[in-house]
Amino acid sequence: MTHEDTRDPSALHTPVLLERCIELLAPVVQATGHDDTPVIVDATLGMGGHTEALLERFPSLTVIGLDRDTEALELAGARLARFGDRAIRVHAVYDDIERAVFDSGFSRIDGVLFDLGVSSLQLDEADRGFAYAQDAPLDMRMDQSVGETAADVLATAPEGRLRAIFERYGEEPLAGRYARAIIAARAEAPILRSGQLVDVLQAATPAAVRDQRHPAKRVFQALRIEVNAELSVLERAIPAALDLLKVGGRAVVMSYQSLEDRFVKREFARRVASTAPAGLPVELPEHRPEFRLLTRGAELADDAERQRNPRAIPVRLRAAERMRDVR
């Protein structure tokens, strides 16, 4: 893509749970003193919808936006240009959040937003290979400048690894059957396109299962997570982001599949728990929880938003606030 790209990011992307995210992050911006510059990290900038709204609502705010997808960064740059140096874009995977913050001239942050999963841009552009409903090269890399493609994984992974990928990242009950089918198919011809893979999976799926769900959905999710190392990145990124928050700082995380949400839930639970030894009569200050939860369980999009924006249907939002510093 060139700098002459004329696509309108706001037409390509509708931010999920936008007003709720702003509501949760607003107190940390409004509570910051006049001598400070409130700083929020949008760890998954995408096409900049959430960041644009935050910068519009809060004129003193600076947002550091991270994304591994260079195409998304370029589109977001056009959308956010009017905010000048209040919008800092960084080409990085979000587990590199600490370096991105330090390199931007800050040591701590007031808030962080994660909008996990695959972006609207990646889903809608057929040649990226994320969508099983469109025939395209099997790429699936969020950053197309580095790493193995999904086609590379399918071409080289042994049966056991394929099965493990589908089981762990797709929670696919037919993982073994699909792995065997892929090994047999690639012996005849390389599996290079999404349409080829869908055909292999369809042929390997019992008719009763095909009637219940699309056989490719979980396999495509699993391959995407594997290609982009999404879970291992998340397991580093969330703790790093929480550690960067000032006292009173807030983290908002939106997940779109159960594996992501389970990890976020566990990490938040760990941070809101007291570390006082069992039987201690008085909880000492150093044992008090680092964080408190701002949501009761995971919040869902309401019916109106689900109808307006179908990509909000699977979202699970969790948020937490730092109560004390442990540095």
Please provide residue 269's backbone torsions phi and psi, each rounded to the nearest 5 degrees: -60, -40
Mean pLDDT to the nearest integer, 260-288: 81
Q: What is the pLDDT of residue 280?
A: 66
Confidence of residue 281 (pLDDT cuts 50, 70, 90): low
Q: DSSP characters for 146-158?
A: SS--HHHHHHH--
Average pLDDT value for the chain: 89
Cβ-based neighbour number of residue 55 at 10 Å = 21
Q: What is the mean pLDDT of residues 111-132?
A: 74
This prediction's pTM: 0.88
pLDDT at residue 65 above 90? yes
CB 297 within 8 A of CB 272: no
**Beta strand 291-293 pairing with 87-91:** unpaired
DSSP-derived pairing of the beta strands 291-293 and 245-255: unpaired
- Distant-in-sequence, close-in-space partners of 5: CB < 8 Å, separation ≥ 6: 74, 75, 78
